[in-house]
Structure 1
């Protein structure tokens, strides 16, 4: 209970369109109508059995009082009491048993409903992520996407299994209890309703104040955690610049702020809410006093008063907790909204089913290519380029000039705003993306390895490769030697962080991975940026053998690696401003020449 009370209401926990989100959730649960019907029936019957117990207890008290009044000594006291209480006790036991069994049934089924709903959403999200364009991942933080896939779905699942059932069960219990109380004594019911109104008003007011205290506490805790993480991460720099006292004072100030916020939150938890519950119990006291007077006057029986007191307890706690249950439901609906927003994102342009088997020569043509990451920011305005088969094309230029964008368009990671790109005379938009990418090998600057063996990582693009093929590519990529020095060789397990393997070795493994696919076209995006000079020279020789008979695009910052390129493109602000061989560009004495001199004249 305490955890639910301490939930902080954040802006992202407030749904923007509750009706629409609830409608979509219900629509997704339409296939489970039978289960939901059983759950509703079980909840109603369980609440009815729970509501019947006070009546049975009241009946027992009335029968016991009557037995006491009419006791004539002809039988034992115990026998007389058992005779009076036998039926009421049996009814209470039966009602309790029925309520427990039905509660188990409803919890079991609603757990199945919640998990199936979450499973269907998770499947749809997983499939959606594979269809989203690269543009989406460029404009959304990884943490935000992961939060939608994990936290938001967990909110929906947990509330479906706990919060929703609590709300429905409490609703049935309150309605049935009020109807029964109305039938027993309308006068006492008015007293109960008045006390509940006061309690609800006080709960709403105090909840608002308490949520502010919890929000301040969470914010101060986040700031303190961030500062501590910052201090530990930059511990060396702090000592180098002798800032220990300054960071200590900053941390102490955040500590004091968190202390004050935590004190307020604890006060709300351990002082205000008990006071609210005490206020709610005033209805219980008023009912007891008035009911006792009515019982003495003969207006109602003692059993009726006792039943009323139990009903007051049955409905006061759910009413008091309604704010917390609604808060959790709001957070779940808001989480569902964020998941639905992901599912509604625009997908990649539907692709043609044509294959790319015709790509054998590797002739690439960019014709009047126009592209921008956003419609109002056009990067490439009218780019034209023709690359002949087996040519090595180097792409250089300043950071952000459009080098990587050029090859991303070739890979169809982005769709063109205008113009066309063709390979061997065929527009790439008429090929399936998967078929096109199978014919193009790409090695990125940021090496990525997944958790698995080294052999599995190398064979990522060709899962049916033999161990001999894997080893041959590893030798060509100059990584066979270090692999064999590892404890299990090619069967060494790499973790997600590739522990035990350096950044340069990771890069070599990704180069071997690209070699194994034997593509018709190669794209190397700073593929040797993380290796030493000697290894780089060995890789250049290996890559030269690999690129024989293949068209290749090499993005490079170190101009020493591309001097032998057939054509060098100087890309700046999305346009090709210079093109030619290394010698030709030096003769032009333009941007490339200035880049070259800046790297080598000092040396």
Structure 2
């Protein structure tokens, strides 16, 4: 991977397939055809009215000049001037009012179109994220996904509400100004055209330099942000190893790099582009000088020269702004491209749509199951397993051996490469995923609580649960006592980022959440890893009572907690290498025995 800022800009801020992305974007915009038609017409009339202003002003100047040449007496001059300027002034007022009204209508509608486009994207992405398989989230960082939902969509929205209307208005303004100048005087138009070509060439060259400066600034800012996040997040570890001075020096290097990049970007904004605008004013000067000479010789009128000068100003700024808009448009198309890439991701295989009413006893069977996370790489080769109703099955083994994979397959988080998994005689592929998962309770090692009250968090899987049911589940999970010590008890509001309770207490709440749903099958994926030994023993007693009428799978790290399991599966490299109860496995003196002895040795 390269750290070159230019490479970063090319890969991230420039689209890889502009035409295809534009077609898809225009197709989505086509849902708002009427608004877009009104916007286009409004822009057309606004720019046309704006183009009439110099003509109206020029006509007024010619009228005054003619009045002066006729030698009107001083006493009658103001009356004659008012009469001569009446029509030009009305034309100016009408053109200005028309341009303003249509411009307002355009801005009002384009804001609606931009927000509606963003809303449609967000709705589709939200639905898409719910249909994506778990393997997608395993392969993509959360920050990357969030960036597509936020940053990339903001780029698209910004260009729709600001950049694109500006670009269209600039093109129409240039078009109308050019047509009028050609009609007024071809020679003066040639002068304007030469100056415009010079200005555009200089703008194109400078835009590339500025784009490079902006790209380096973005890359350096990203590197600095990542370094600071790393420094602050790992502050305790940094202090433990006394690396404050080293990391401070590394951070200062990033700060210096970002300072230079920001300075170059600011230079592009405050020096280069004003210089380009000054270059564009050369056309203004040339037009005034040559036009003045033509007016002096009677070839054209003074009002025509003044109109040309105004037209030069009208088209000079749009030409400069176009460079800004095109750069922003590229970034927006690249953002839309990444959003479309997310929307094109393969989804979960469609459900059969049937319910899971057949799950009553919890009889689970794995028959010749084969599975691999990546094509060509098989983790589970030929798994056969039968778990009878109400049995407690413990799954143990080394990290990465495939323990969690077994329960993920049972929950249909991943689809099998071969074989079948059946519950109470019915293949899980014939059941709807939602119906299946409602019959299976799962507690993960990683706790997750949302911003809300403790009661709401416990009732997350059963929204209509009564307070009595919530409290009963909390008591069974050994968390009722600490909940009642909180200021508002079950109505205490937890924050998603900083809940205000310990990690172990959070784990107890997630266990209570699973207990409340009263599932037919219970899965505990190292669910007690974050609690102390005494609390774990209490939970084990409570779980033993709750699991009397349930089939349960327990993934455990501390082997002492699963010695009473009906069946223990020792998983290694995706295969079950040993199975039996604790006594049978210890008698084998195999891999399970080695795991138990190693933990006692560590203890």
| TM-score of the two chains, using structure 1 as the length reference | 0.96
1:164 equivalent in alignment to 2:159: no
Q: In the aligned structure 2, how far is the partner of 1:445 from the partner of 1:37?
A: 55
Partner of 2:310: 310
Say if 1:379 and 1:248 are closer, same or farther in 2 by CA, change over 3 A: closer
Say if 1:11 and 1:452 are closer, same or farther in 2 by CA, change over 3 A: same
Partner of 2:291: 291
Q: Give 1:511-590 correspondences, 5 Å limit.
A: 511-590=511-590
CA drift of 1:498 comes to 4.2
> Helix, strand or coil: the match of 1:540?
helix
Q: In the aligned structure 2, how far is the partner of 1:302 from the partner of 1:315?
A: 20
Is 1:354–1:431's contact at 8 Å kept on the other side of the alignment? yes
> Helix, strand or coil: the match of 2:372?
strand
Is 1:371–1:380's contact at 8 Å kept on the other side of the alignment? yes
Q: Give 1:20-99 correspondences, 5 Å limit.
A: 20-73=20-73, 75-99=75-99
Q: Any unmatched runs of 5+ in structure 2? A: 1-7
Say if 1:248 and 1:414 are closer, same or farther in 2 by CA, change over 3 A: closer
Q: In the aligned structure 2, how far is the partner of 1:599 from the partner of 1:97?
A: 84
CA offsets, 1:181-239, max 9 Å, x none?
Answer: 00000111111111111111111111111222232233333334444444444445545
CA drift of 1:322 comes to 1.2
1:600 equivalent in alignment to 2:579: no
Partner of 1:432: 432
Q: In the aligned structure 1, how far is the partner of 2:254 from the partner of 2:139?
A: 33
Q: Which moved more, 1:581-590 or 1:252-261?
A: 252-261
Partner of 1:417: 417
Q: Any unmatched runs of 5+ in structure 1? A: 1-7
CA drift of 1:320 comes to 1.4
Q: In the aligned structure 2, how far is the partner of 1:316 from the partner of 1:9?
A: 28
CA drift of 1:241 comes to 4.2
> Helix, strand or coil: the match of 2:287?
helix
Is 1:9–1:327's contact at 8 Å kept on the other side of the alignment? no
CA drift of 1:164 comes to 0.8
Q: In the aligned structure 2, how far is the partner of 1:464 from the partner of 1:189?
A: 76
Q: Which moved more, 1:481-490 or 1:392-401?
A: 481-490
Q: In the aligned structure 2, how far is the partner of 1:567 from the partner of 1:236?
A: 42
Q: In the aligned structure 2, how far is the partner of 1:31 from the partner of 1:225?
A: 39
Partner of 1:4: none
CA offsets, 1:25-44, max 9 Å, x none?
Answer: 22112232111111111110
CA drift of 1:256 comes to 3.3
Q: Give 1:383-462 correspondences, 5 Å limit.
A: 383-462=383-462
RMSD: 1.5
> Helix, strand or coil: the match of 2:378?
strand
Q: In the aligned structure 1, how far is the partner of 2:72 from the partner of 2:108?
A: 52
CA offsets, 1:315-362, max 9 Å, x none?
Answer: 111111211101111111111111111111111111112111121111
Q: In the aligned structure 1, how far is the partner of 2:230 from the partner of 2:149?
A: 28
> Helix, strand or coil: the match of 2:548?
coil
Q: Which moved more, 1:175-184 or 1:255-264?
A: 255-264
Aligned length in residues: 596
Say if 1:433 and 1:331 are closer, same or farther in 2 by CA, change over 3 A: same
> Helix, strand or coil: the match of 1:552?
strand
> Helix, strand or coil: the match of 2:380?
strand
Q: In the aligned structure 2, how far is the partner of 1:362 from the partner of 1:245?
A: 59
Q: In the aligned structure 1, how far is the partner of 2:41 from the partner of 2:132?
A: 42
Partner of 1:121: 121
Say if 1:469 and 1:525 are closer, same or farther in 2 by CA, change over 3 A: same
Partner of 1:144: 144
Is 1:449–1:498's contact at 8 Å kept on the other side of the alignment? no
Q: In the aligned structure 2, how far is the partner of 1:485 from the partner of 1:245?
A: 44
Q: Give 1:251-270 correspondences, 5 Å limit.
A: 251-270=251-270
Q: Give 1:188-267 correspondences, 5 Å limit.
A: 188-267=188-267
Q: Which moved more, 1:310-319 or 1:149-158?
A: 149-158
Q: In the aligned structure 2, how far is the partner of 1:233 from the partner of 1:450?
A: 22
> Helix, strand or coil: the match of 1:21?
helix
1:326 equivalent in alignment to 2:326: yes
Is 1:39–1:106's contact at 8 Å kept on the other side of the alignment? yes
Q: In the aligned structure 1, how far is the partner of 2:56 from the partner of 2:327?
A: 35
Partner of 2:4: none
> Helix, strand or coil: the match of 2:73?
coil
Q: Which moved more, 1:26-35 or 1:180-189?
A: 26-35
Q: Which moved more, 1:174-183 or 1:497-506?
A: 497-506
Say if 1:238 and 1:362 are closer, same or farther in 2 by CA, change over 3 A: closer
Q: Which moved more, 1:426-435 or 1:314-323?
A: 314-323
Is 1:507–1:527's contact at 8 Å kept on the other side of the alignment? yes
Q: In the aligned structure 1, how far is the partner of 2:231 from the partner of 2:389?
A: 55
| TM-score of the two chains, using structure 2 as the length reference | 0.96
CA drift of 1:139 comes to 0.8
Is 1:131–1:348's contact at 8 Å kept on the other side of the alignment? yes
Q: In the aligned structure 1, how far is the partner of 2:602 from the partner of 2:486?
A: 40
